[in-house]
Amino acid sequence: MEKLNFILSGLGGQGILFMTKLLAQTALNRGLKIMAAETHGMAQRGGSVVSHLRIGDVAGSLVRAGSAHILLALDENEAYRSLPFLTGGGSLYVNAPARTLVRKQVLSYMNRMEMTCRFFPASETAMELGSPMAANLALLGFFAAFQDSPLPGHELGRTIEQASPDRFREINLKIFNRGFERGSAEREQTRGL
Amino acid sequence: MMHQDIFLGNGAIALGLLEAGCQVVTSYPGTPSSEILPEVVRLVRSEDLNTYVEWSTNEKVALDNAFAAAVSGKRAACCMKQVGLNVAADSLMSAAYMGTIGGLVIISCDDPGPHSSQTEQDTRLMARFAKVPVLDPCNPEEARQMAGLALDLSEEFQIPVVLRPAIRVCHARQALELREIPRNGRKASFQKEPVRWAATPKFRFLLHGELNRKLKEISRRFDSLALYNFHNLTSGRQYPLGILAGGVPYAVVKDILSEEKRDDIPVLKLGAPYPFPEKLAEDFLNACDRVLVIEETDTVIEYFLRNREKVLGRLSGHVPSEGELVPEMVYQVMDRVLRSLDLAGLKESGQGDAVELVKALNLPVRKPTLCPGCPHRASFFAIRKARPKAIFTSDIGCYTLGLNLGGVDTCLDMGAAITMASGFYHSFAQDQIDQPIVATIGDSTFYHSGAAGLLNAVYNDARFILVILDNQTTAMTGMQPTPGLGIRADASRGKAIPLERVVAGCGIDFIEVIDPYNIREMIQLIKKAGDYVKDPNGGIAVIIARHPCVIAYRDTAIPEKVKVTVTDACVECNFCLDRFECPALYKDETLGRTAVNQALCAQCGVCIQICPKGAIIAV
C-alpha cells in the first residue's frame, strides 16, 4: 500500500474525531505513517464535521478533493456533501437506514465514477445495543470487514479496547464487533454472488 | 525503534517547548490555539517537570507575564489565537524594542478560512509590524522543532520570536518520536537597567537602532537556515517557473509536485520568512523566469520580493486573496499558472462533476447551533420575549450562536457587547431616543475584557441591561476554567473571584442572579431591570444568568431530568422551531407536527415553558 486517503464525515457530536483517532492509532501500531486533520471550535457545534486521515508518506494533512479512496459517513446528507472528496473507483461506507441512497442521481454518479457504495444502519445497530451515540464504532466495525480496510478488525478492536474509558470499554467493543459481523456477512454474501 | 505517539499539532508545540526547557507558559484559550496549554500541563505532570503554567485573563496579560519571566532570564512562552495577538499588540510592540534575556516565544495560531475567528489576519504581518522574527511550520513535527528554535534564537539575539502555526498545523495529527525531556533548573534573576526596562523615548530611539541591527543579522542567519529555508535548484540551470511557499501551503505544494512527478519545478521553502532571507530569495528569483508565491493568509513573501515583474501571486490575481488555500485550490492555481506559461499542466484531478451534483441536491444547511439543554438558549428566549424591540449587542463565545434565536445583533470583538451597548446608548440618547439595549456576554469573555468597558459605561452614565451568561466555563474553546471558579490551569486551587464582586466593583448597583432555566422568572427580572435602566435614579442593570454548561458539567448540569413529548395540541405553528431552535425538536412529516428526538434531548424540560399551545409536556 502506497498512500491511502480517508474522509470521515458526519455531524458535530457523532464521534468523528474518535473514529479518526482509532484508525490513526491502529495504522501507527502497524508501523505506518499517518497525517490527520480535524475540526474544532465553532464549526463543531452541531455543524458538518469532516476529518481527514492520510496513511503513507505525505506532507500535508488535508485530502485534496477528488483524491479520497475511502469515505466513511455517519450521516447520509453529510455523505453527499463530502462526495467531491471521493476519487473515481473509491468506496463510500454510509450510515443509512435503507439499503439504498435516497438521492438516485448520486447513485448514477457513483456508478459512472466506478465507486462502490455500502450501506449500514449503524445508528440502529448502536441503539439496539443500548448506546445510540456509538454509531461511529458500528460503522467502523462494518468497514473493517472489507478489503478496502488496510487495518484488520482485530487490530482496530485492540485500539478501541485501549482508547475507551473504563465505563464504555465493553459496550464499545460489543458495538464494534456487531458492525464487524454484519460487514463480514455482507462480504461473504457479495462473494457468493 | 524509538517510541512514537500521535500528537495533535498543538501537543507537538507543547512538547517542543518543554524539550527546549521552557519554564513558564501562559495562555488565553482561543481556537485554534486552545490545546497547547492543556498539553503542556499533561506533559509537565507525566514527566514531573516544574514548568509554571497559567490561564491568564487575556492575551495581553499572558504576554506581559511571559515577558517578565524572560526578562528574569527564564525560557517562556505565551500562546493565543491570531486575534488574541491584537489584544497583546501593545505588549508585543514594546517588548520588541526592549528585547529579552531568556528566550521568549509568542505562539499565535492563524485561522485561514476562517473556521472559528472574526478575521483571516496573518500573524506574520504582525511580526513584521512589531519587527520580530517569525517561524511558519508546515506540520506538527516541524512546529515542535521550531518551538525550540524560537527559544534558541530569542535567547541568542535577545529578541522575542513569534511562532505562527496555522490551523492545519494546530489541528493536524502526526506521530512523533519521543525522547527524554530535560529539566531546566535556571534560576530567576533581575539585573536593574532602567535605560532598557523602563526606557524613556530618548532611549527607545537607541533600542530601535539596536533592534534594526538584530534584524539584519537574523536575516542573514535565515539565508542559511537550511533546515527550514531551502530550495532544490540545480546550480547553473534556468527554470521557466519556480514556486515560493511557506507553512501549510508548502506541504500542499510538495505533495502535489511529488504525486505529479514534476521535478521540473523548483521550490523555495521559507519556514522562516521574516526578517526576510534576501540573499536566498534573490538566488532563487535569478534562476527562475517566473515565480509563483503560495502563502497563507496574506502577502508577506510576495511583498518582500524585489523583482515584481517575475512574481505571480495574490497581487497579480493568480492566487485568491481570501479563504483557506485548500489542496484543490492550490492544485487549480498551479495548473492554471503552468498552462498560462505554456508548460505542461497537471493531470486530471480525479474529481468528477461531484461539486455541481452536490450543489443541485440542495442539502440542508448545517449551521452550528447551541447544544440541547444549553442554558444560553433559555436566556436568549427570555431576553427576546421581555425586550422584543431592543438592540442585542453580544460577544465572542458559544453564545454568538444566539444569532439563530434572533438574540444577537452585533459581535465585534472580545468585550464589545458592553462597549457597543454604551456606544449605542449615547448615540440614541443624543437624539432623545429611548432605545432599549440588551447586551450579552459570557463569563470568561467578561473576565477577559468586559470589566474595562463596564467601568467606562458606568462612569459615563450609559443605560442598558447587561446579561452575563455564566455557564461556569470557557465552553467554545474546550471547557477551560474561569477566574470565577478558583480552579487553575493545572487543576490546583486559585482564589475564586465571583462575577458579582467584579460587577459591584465596576460601580453597578443593580445585580441579580438567576437560573435561566426558569424562563418565566427570567422574563420578569429582565422587565424589572428595564424599569431600573429607565429610572432617572437608576443605571446599568446587570443580570447574571447562571447555569452550568451541559457539556462541561455533564452529570450535574441537569439535576432533575424531565422527559418531554409533544401532544396533539401542537398546531404546527413552528414557534418552538424558529424561536427556541433546540436540535432535539424537529418537524415529523409523518406525524404532521413537531416531535422530540429523544436521542438528542438533554431532558432539561425548558421547552415545556415556551410552547404557546402547551403542547410540549413532561411524560
Confidence bin at B352 (pLDDT 50/70/90)? low
Question: Chain B: residue nearest A135 by CA?
Answer: B599
Q: pTM for the whole thing?
A: 0.95
Domain ranges of chain A: 4-192
- B308 versus B250: the higher-pLDDT residue is B250
Which residue in B357, B376, B377 has the most chain A C-beta atoms within 10 A of its own C-beta, making it the best mutation to test that interface?
B357
Q: Is the pLDDT of residue B324 over 60?
A: yes
Of the candidates A35, A44, A88, which has its C-beta nearest B352's C-beta? A88
Multiple choice CATH, A4-192, 3.40.50.300, 3.40.920.10, 3.90.226.10, 3.90.170.10 = 3.40.920.10
Asked if residue B435 lies in contact with residue B445, where contact means CB atoms within 8 angstroms, the answer is: no
Query: How is B521-585 classified by DSSP, letter by letter?
Result: HHHHHHHHHHHHHHSTT---EEEEEE---TTTTTTTS-SS---EEE-TT-----HIIIII--TTE
Torsional sign, CA A165, A167, A168, A170:
positive
- B394 versus A40: the higher-pLDDT residue is B394
C-alpha distance from B29 to closest chain A C-alpha (Å): 11
Of the candidates A42, A62, A63, which has its C-beta nearest B368's C-beta? A42
B277-323 residue pLDDT tens: 999 999 999 999 999 999 999 999 999 999 889 999 999 999 999 99
Long-range own/partner contacts, residues B43-47 (CB < 8 A, 24 or more apart): B43/B14, B43/B15, B43/B18, B43/B181, B44/B18, B44/B490, B45/B490, B47/B18, B47/B181
Q: What is the pLDDT of residue A40?
A: 67
C-alpha distance from A185 to closest chain B C-alpha (Å): 28
Share of chain A above pLDDT 70, in %: 94
Question: Chain A: residue nearest B583 by CA?
Answer: A46
B465: closest CA among B393, B385, B376? B393
C-alpha distance from A63 to closest chain B C-alpha (Å): 7
| B619/B598 Cα distance (integer angstroms) | 12
Residue A140 CA: distances (Å) to CA of A19, A20, A134: 7, 10, 10
Residue B291 forms beta bridges with which residues? Answer: B242, B311
Q: What is the pLDDT of residue A147?
A: 79
B215-244 residue pLDDT tens: 999 999 999 999 999 999 999 999 999 999
E strands, B82-171, are: 104-109, 134-135, 161-163
Contacts of A127 in chain B (CB under 8 A): 599
Can you list the domains of chain B with their CATH numbers? 4-220 (3.40.50.970), 229-340 (3.40.50.920), 375-546 (3.40.50.970), 564-618 (3.30.70.20)
- Number of A/B CB contacts below 8 angstroms equals 161
Contacts of A25 in chain B (CB under 8 A): 6
Q: Is the pLDDT of residue B14 over 70?
A: yes
- B349 versus B327: the higher-pLDDT residue is B327
Pairwise CB contact (< 8 Å): A28 & B371: no
Confidence bin at A190 (pLDDT 50/70/90)? confident
Contacts of A88 in chain B (CB under 8 A): 350, 352
Confidence bin at A2 (pLDDT 50/70/90)? confident
Q: Is the pLDDT of residue A156 over 90?
A: yes
Pairwise CB contact (< 8 Å): B31 & A41: yes
Pairwise CB contact (< 8 Å): A133 & B599: yes
Q: What is the pLDDT of residue A14?
A: 87
C-alpha distance from B163 to closest chain A C-alpha (Å): 19
DSSP-based three-state secondary structure for B108: strand
Which residue in B4, B116, B141, B171 has the most chain A C-beta atoms within 10 A of its own C-beta, making it the best mutation to test that interface?
B171
**Edge-to-edge order in the sheet of strand A116-120:** A116-120, A86-95, A68-73, A4-11, A48-55, A34-37, B172-177, B4-8
B159 in the Ramachandran plot: left (φ > 0), alpha (ψ -120 to 50) or beta?
beta
Contacts of B370 in chain A (CB under 8 A): 45
Question: Chain A: residue nearest B142 by CA?
Answer: A59
Of the candidates B31, B256, B352, which has its C-beta nearest A40's C-beta? B31
Q: What is the pLDDT of residue B215?
A: 98
- A7 versus A12: the higher-pLDDT residue is A7
Q: What is the pLDDT of residue A125?
A: 95
Of the candidates A25, A45, A109, which has its C-beta nearest B352's C-beta? A109
Question: Chain B: residue nearest A123 by CA?
Answer: B599
Q: What is the pLDDT of residue B366?
A: 79
Contacts of A47 in chain B (CB under 8 A): 366-368
**Average pLDDT of the residues of chain A:** 91
Q: What is the pLDDT of residue A41?
A: 56
Pairwise CB contact (< 8 Å): B368 & A67: no
In this prediction, residues B553-580 reach a mean pLDDT of: 94
C-alpha distance from A117 to closest chain B C-alpha (Å): 15
Torsional sign, CA B193, B197, B200, B201:
positive
Question: Chain B: residue nearest A126 by CA?
Answer: B599
A158-176 residue pLDDT tens: 999 999 999 999 999 999 9
Cβ burial of B8 (10 Å; 0-12, 13-18, 19+) is buried
Q: Is the pLDDT of residue B71 over 60?
A: yes
Question: Chain A: residue nearest B396 by CA?
Answer: A42
Confidence bin at B178 (pLDDT 50/70/90)? very high
| B207/B297 Cα distance (integer angstroms) | 31
Q: What is the pLDDT of residue A102?
A: 78
Residue A102 CA: distances (Å) to CA of A97, A105, A113, B354: 10, 9, 18, 16
| B295/A81 Cα distance (integer angstroms) | 27
Which residue in this structure is represented by grid cell 460503522?
A: A139
C-alpha distance from B545 to closest chain A C-alpha (Å): 21
Which residue in B366, B376, B396, B471 has the most chain A C-beta atoms within 10 A of its own C-beta, making it the best mutation to test that interface?
B366
Which residue in A62, A81, A115, A117 has the most chain B C-beta atoms within 10 A of its own C-beta, making it the best mutation to test that interface?
A62
Q: What is the pLDDT of residue A177?
A: 97
B14: closest CA among B59, B64, B83, B78? B78
C-alpha distance from A39 to closest chain B C-alpha (Å): 7
Q: What is the pLDDT of residue A42?
A: 57
Strands B267-270 and B239-245: parallel
Q: What are phi and psi of A159, to 5 degrees?
A: -65, -40
Confidence bin at A46 (pLDDT 50/70/90)? low
Q: What is the pLDDT of residue A43?
A: 54
Widest Cα–Cα separation across chain B: 84
Contacts of B599 in chain A (CB under 8 A): 127, 132-133
Pairwise CB contact (< 8 Å): B357 & A106: yes
C-alpha distance from B372 to closest chain A C-alpha (Å): 10
Q: Is the pLDDT of residue A193 over 80?
A: no
In this prediction, residues A1-10 reach a mean pLDDT of: 90
Q: Is the pLDDT of residue A192 over 70?
A: no
Q: What is the pLDDT of residue B616?
A: 97
Contacts of A73 in chain B (CB under 8 A): none
Pairwise CB contact (< 8 Å): A20 & B173: yes
Pairwise CB contact (< 8 Å): A60 & B358: no
Amino acid at B82: Q
Q: What is the pLDDT of residue B338?
A: 97
C-alpha distance from B396 to closest chain A C-alpha (Å): 10
Which residue in A35, A55, A125 has the most chain B C-beta atoms within 10 A of its own C-beta, making it the best mutation to test that interface?
A35
Q: What is the pLDDT of residue B1?
A: 53
Q: What is the pLDDT of residue A47?
A: 76
Q: What is the pLDDT of residue A39?
A: 76
In this prediction, residues B199-216 reach a mean pLDDT of: 97
Pairwise CB contact (< 8 Å): B366 & A48: yes
Contacts of A20 in chain B (CB under 8 A): 173
* Cis? peptide before A100, omega within 30° of 0: no
Confidence bin at B349 (pLDDT 50/70/90)? low
Question: Chain B: residue nearest A20 by CA?
Answer: B173
Asked if residue B223 lies in contact with residue B275, where contact means CB atoms within 8 angstroms, the answer is: no
Q: What is the pLDDT of residue B240?
A: 98
Q: What is the pLDDT of residue A132?
A: 81
A47-70 residue pLDDT tens: 788 999 999 999 999 999 999 999
Q: Is the pLDDT of residue B374 over 60?
A: yes
In this prediction, residues B329-357 reach a mean pLDDT of: 89
Q: Which residues contact B256 (CB under 8 A, 6 or more apart)?
A: A64, B262, B327, B330, B331, B334, B346
Q: B609: which 3 cell numbers? A: 415553558
